[in-house]
Structure formats: structure tokens, C-alpha cells
Structure 1
Amino acid sequence: MQTGFNNETLKNIKQRRSTRSFKDEQIKDEELQAVLEAGLYAPYAWEYSRHFTVIQNKELLGRLNIAAKEAARQMALEHLRELGSNECFNCLYNAPTLIIVSGDEKAPVPIEADCAAATQNLLIAAESIGLGSCWIFFVLLAFNSPQGTELLKELKIPDDYKPCYSVLLGYKNTATVNMPEKNPDLITYIK
């Protein structure tokens, strides 16, 4: 499905793909701030319903990976148990930056929607400035591990906020972009 429009925003949306192979180099502070600013400007139903936690400490990222895998080994879903038991699997794909988007559980609106909008903005902003990104769930399992409560405190996630989504950021190891055509049958028009 092609449109007659050709602008940078639509191009970035179309070419953004999940990156699972990152260079070791940490992203620049200006790049991080640009991505976070895009997250802050995402639409919301309740202005203070979300919070961003940025982790760039390698040791802490390693502990989050270990805790998430420990929790995954206890899950009912076999696929998660297998990933948790795989010594070679790193749920953060060795990305140098992780952003956790948390929602205020006391907000009078569904926090997941506000957090998802912010997460999408983070991903598109990252693509627009040449960063690789990946929206991941697995690392959030760390908060279900025995260390979960301590990790919430160590990450300074505000009281009454629940980690909803997370985004990996870094420089892409590969520049290949595959923009497959999307199925137009997913759209119904009623005029």
C-alpha cells in the first residue's frame, strides 16, 4: 500500500525496525535527550501518568538481564522458560541504553495507553536520528524476580508507578532496512 506522500516522518515510521544487534559504543547525551523529549511530547490522557527511567550502567543492565531470566524460568509459558535457561540469551541484546516507561497506577485513566504512546514516540525519534531501537517486554520480568522490589528502589521508579514497557537504544550493527509491504486487508473502509 503506497501513499502519494513522501515526508520524513512517514519515512521513519515505515523504515523503523527492531534492532537486536548493537555496537558497544554508548549513545551521545544529545541523542538521548532528543529521544526522551519525543517521549515527553507523546499524547496522553493524564499528564503525569508516566515516568521514564534511563539505565546506562553496564553492571546494572547485566543484573536486570539475570533477574529477568531467573523470573522467566519460573513462568508457565515454555518459550519464556527456554529463553530464561539459555545461557547465551541476553534479553537486552547488549544495548548500551535501556529506557523503562512506567505508569502511575493511581491515575484515573488506563496507564498502558499513555505509556504505549510515549514508547512509540521514543522508537520513532530514535529512528529519525539514526539510532537502533527495540521495544522489549522480557526485561520487565526482572520485577517479578526475588530481586524485583529492590530493583524498583534501585532504579528510583516512583512509588505507585508500574513498569509497563521498555525500549533499547544504541547504534545499529547493521544498516539494512527491509520495508515489506503491509497487508491492506487489515483495513476496512466505511464511507
Structure 2
Amino acid sequence: MNEVLKAIKSRRSIRSYKPEQISQEALDLIIEAAVYAPTAHNDQPWHFTVIQNQEMLQYINKKVREAMAKSDIQWVQKTGANPGFQVTYDAPTLIVVSGRTDAMAWTADCAAAIQNMLVAAESLGIGSVWLGLLRFFFQDEEMGKLQIPEGYQPYYGVALGYKAREYAAPKRNLDVVNYIR
């Protein structure tokens, strides 16, 4: 099978990581894959903040739990109240993807960059998960600690690390296409 298709088909959201840090070489390749994502008008409106400092990762996890615990949505509140919940799933690397808000399609461009990161990580034997709940940290007044450049807005995060165990390829419903020929 084609190696790209193999990586796409075997990639899944990993929520259990080994404590060892990913290699700088792998990190560089994952970020390079992100910057080769398609982008409207070649704006390339992304910025990547790589966090590997464990104290900062724990701080983010704590702030996310605190914000989630105050939510009006029951499952979000319950998850935030769980002291064991880690939005980063104890991954040793977190990449915050931000977009330049004056770009034509920065959210779509950043989403494409994230997808490239996820597939590249899988191809390198590195687990990943797209972190939507990280948005609770983006609302915090301490978010400035991420040093995101002026004019950029944080969008999502990607947790990266070596998988604690292997996972079966996800099942997919392939009956989702109609053809007009």
C-alpha cells in the first residue's frame, strides 16, 4: 500500500504517551509538513508555538481544568472537575497552532496544517491528538505566556509523543459517497 495512504488509514487520536521526548529531527519534520499544507492565496497564515517545558504543560492543564469546571455544559464541567484530567494527555510536546487573523482563510489553512502534522507524525511512528479543549486556555488572561505574535489568534493544539501502546486502525464508514456522472 502507498505509504501516505497507509499513514492516513492507520492514524488515530492517541491519548496515552511514553514520557520520553520526541526527537528534534522528528519535530522538525512534523513542522515542515505543516508549512507545506495548502493555503488560500499562499497566505501561509500560521504560527507554531512548541511547548516542551513540563512546568508550562502542567500549568496549561491546570488552567484548562479550572475553566472547564466553570462551564455550563455538564460533561465539560464534569471533565474539568476531574483532577486527573490532562488536556494534553501527558504528551511531552504540545504545538499550539495560531493563525494570522487578517488572512483570507486562516482557520481552514491552519486546519490543513494540523492535518499534515497528524499524518506526518503517524508516518514517523509518533502519536498525536488534535486538541479542541485547549481553547479553554486560550481564553485565560495568562495565555500571553505563549508569546503568540501580534495579529495571530490561537486556533487548536496538537499533542505529540511516542505511543504508550499500539492501537488498531480505526473503522470508517465508507458508504458516504454519491456520484453524479
Q: Given the alignment, which residue of 35, 43, 47 partners 1:40?
A: 35
CA contact (8 A) 1:43 1:117 kept: yes
CA contact (8 A) 1:39 1:122 kept: yes
Q: Give the residue type in structure 1 aligned to 2:15.
A: R
**Identical amino acids, percent of aligned pairs:** 46
Unaligned runs of at least 5 residues, structure 1:
1-5
Query: Where do 1:101-180 residues align within 5 Å?
Result: 101-107=97-103, 109-144=104-139, 148-151=140-143, 153-180=144-171
Equivalent-residue separation in structure 2 for 1:104 and 1:76 (angstroms): 30
CA contact (8 A) 2:15 2:129 kept: yes
- Asked if 1:56 is matched to 2:52, the reply is yes
| Count of residue pairs brought into register by the alignment | 180
Q: CA deviation at 1:175?
A: 1.6
Q: CA deviation at 1:62?
A: 0.4
CA contact (8 A) 1:69 1:142 kept: no
What's the TM-score, normalizing by structure 1?
0.90
Residue-by-residue CA offset, 1:156-179 (whole Å, 9 max, x unaligned): 101121111111000001123234
Q: CA deviation at 1:119?
A: 0.1
CA contact (8 A) 2:45 2:99 kept: yes
Q: Alignment RMSD, CA only?
A: 1.2
Residue-by-residue CA offset, 1:69-108 (whole Å, 9 max, x unaligned): 111122221111111101111111100000011111122x
- 1:26 alignment partner, SS class: coil
- Asked if 1:8 is matched to 2:3, the reply is yes
Q: CA deviation at 1:31?
A: 0.6
Unaligned runs of at least 5 residues, structure 2:
none
* Partner residue in 1 for 2:75: 79
